[in-house]
Amino acid sequence: MINQIQMRAIFDGSVLTIKVAFVALFFGLIFGTLIALGRMSKNKVIKSFSWFYVWFFRGTPLLLQLFIIFYAYPIIRIEMTGSGVEMNPMLSAYLAFSLNCAAYSAEIIRAAIESIDHGQMEAAKALGMNYRQAMTRIIIPQTYKRLMAPIGNELIMLIKDTSLVSTIALFDLLRTVKTMASATGDWVYYIYAAVIYLFLTTIFQIVFDKLEVRFGVYEER
């Protein structure tokens, strides 16, 4: 069966998984909103930067991005400046997952903003609001309901993708159980992992379903 030390390790692995997913979602949404606005900007430089950002982070594997930050960046730095850095694995994971999540969130948010009727922006402008006021008070709040399903989906993807951090010396849930399974020759640890993943994803699914209803109250006749 499972002893106390193993339980503790599985718990720690789950916490790490949740931490990486949530930090990534939090910063990914903030940065993703800016990138989304950048994609719709009239300023050519901002527009191309945002396009390039999404193109790069969606077009390359997350694992590669993680390696660039954790393994390649220190080498690049030594070659450029002569002084080395030791990358903190946790920080690298946060950074890579956040940057990656921002690219996906940007596209989700942009689609949601573009789905809002143009008349809303016009009405806001006709009432004297500037672009920033219209966006933050009128347009973006109307996207919340539409964002909940795809963002819930993104969180679930993140939870599962955190298993990639095992490649940079971190013990997430999957790596923890894999170590136990190979040490003991017992496959039941994989079942524990599956149950925990399913538990987490189910909870978040329910939460985001609830949020979607809540943000949509004004649409009910």
To another protein, the closest distance from the beta carbon of 38 in angstroms equals 23
Which of 68/129 has CB closer to another protein? 129
Which of 52/131 has CB closer to another protein? 131
Ranges within 120-159 binding another protein (CB under 8 A): 120, 122-129, 133, 137-138, 141-142
To another protein, the closest distance from the beta carbon of 64 in angstroms equals 40
To another protein, the closest distance from the beta carbon of 4 in angstroms equals 50
With contacts defined by CB under 8 A, name the span among 42-50, 53-61, 116-124, 148-156 that binds another protein: 116-124
Which of 106/134 has CB closer to another protein? 134
Q: Spell out the SS3 assignment of the chain.
A: CCCHHHHHHHHHHHHHHHHHHHHHHHHHHHHHHHHHHHHCCCCHHHHHHHHHHHHHHHHCCHHHHHHHHHHHHHHHHHHHHCCCCCCCHHHHHHHHHHHHHHHHHHHHHHHHHHCCCHHHHHHHHHCCCCHHHHHHHHHHHHHHHHHHHHHHHHHHHHHHHHHHHHHHCCCCHHHHHHHHHHHHCCCHHHHHHHHHHHHHHHHHHHHHHHHHHHHCHHHCC
Which of 114/186 has CB closer to another protein? 114
* Count of residues touching another protein (by CB under 8 A): 21
CB atoms within 10 A of CB 140: 18
Say whether residue 210 binds another protein (CB under 8 A). Answer: no
Say whether residue 117 binds another protein (CB under 8 A). Answer: yes
Say whether residue 213 binds another protein (CB under 8 A). Answer: no
Query: Which residues make up the interface to another protein (CB under 8 A)?
Result: 117, 119-120, 122-129, 133, 137-138, 141-142, 217-221
